[in-house]
Amino acid sequence: MTLRFRKNIPLFIMFVPVILFYVLFKYLPMFGVVIAFKDYNFIQGIMNSPWVGWKHFQILFDRPQSLEIIRNTIVLGTLTVFVGFPFPILLAILLNEIRKIWYKRVVQTLVYLPHFFSWVIVGGIALTLFSQETGIVNHVVKWLTGDAYPFLYKSGSWITIFLASGIWKEAGFAAIIYLAALSAIDNSLYEAASIDGANKWKQIINITIPSISPTIIIMFIISIGNVLEVGFDKVYVLKNPVVSDIAEVISTYIYRIGIEGAQFSFSAALGLFESVVGLVLVLLANRTAKKFGQGLW
């Protein structure tokens, strides 16, 4: 055991920065969660601020606005997971079927590229396309119908743009994981299926998808944990007061009341609630997956 430990000392040393990163920026800040149970103020600090117990959580569930924001977050998060989740899988399968190497590389580059755009850029593209007055799409709509359509000011079309922009930005990069899983499939399985008369569609259904199902389930469990983490950037750059009844989510609400309104304890309570619900969802999803022999742990 000692000899094995000595051989791996260089690896342990390389791992030290990773441990320090998580300790300093992930675990130590969790101590600040205690302000969710206190009336925090700068003068008294975290330790000396008065303890109020579940007061802020009670306020959270008594405020109609808070319940509406939680509902919005659940709706947008659920749609993001269940609508956006299949696209990286489909994209990976399509890329895997391309036989022209140069064409495959070009397509991969084009679909990966949006991941590296900030949401400010993606939001600007959405505004350029769907703005009611100057949007490219509305120029076509005006030419066809005579009237512009307020895509960004109707709840239904706003949600569609929100989901589509997220899929366009992240599907290509997420497909990398599935492409790695696809590369591990034995080609002899496809050859045997082809000899038996299976067409490409049947090969995908009976070989490709079952072979990458463990990866799909793991990614789905991780995605379920992010249902309430809709994301601040993508909502903030696309939202406007007209659609605030559906676009106001937990992350933007925390920014508004926590940073702008200085209600630190209440926003901490809301953030803790979001994290706990995410943890419960991950545990439930993993427990369900374990029944089928595909649990994450």
Whole-number pLDDT of residue 295? 64
pLDDT 10s per residue in the chain (297 long)? 577 778 888 888 898 999 999 999 888 888 888 888 998 888 888 888 889 888 888 888 888 888 888 888 889 988 988 898 999 999 999 998 888 888 888 988 899 899 999 898 998 899 889 988 888 898 898 888 888 888 989 989 999 999 999 999 999 888 989 998 998 888 888 888 888 888 888 998 889 998 998 888 888 888 887 777 787 888 888 888 888 888 888 888 888 888 788 888 888 888 888 888 888 888 887 787 777 676 666
Whole-number pLDDT of residue 297? 67
Predicted TM-score (pTM) above 0.85? no
Whole-number pLDDT of residue 294? 67
On the CB side of 173, how many CA atoms lie within 13 Å of its CA? 10
C-alpha distances in angstroms, 64 versus 61, 130, 200, 236, 250?
8, 32, 53, 21, 14
Whole-number pLDDT of residue 165? 92
Whole-number pLDDT of residue 17? 92
All domains in the chain, ordered by first residue: 57-290 (1.10.3720.10)
Whole-number pLDDT of residue 195? 87
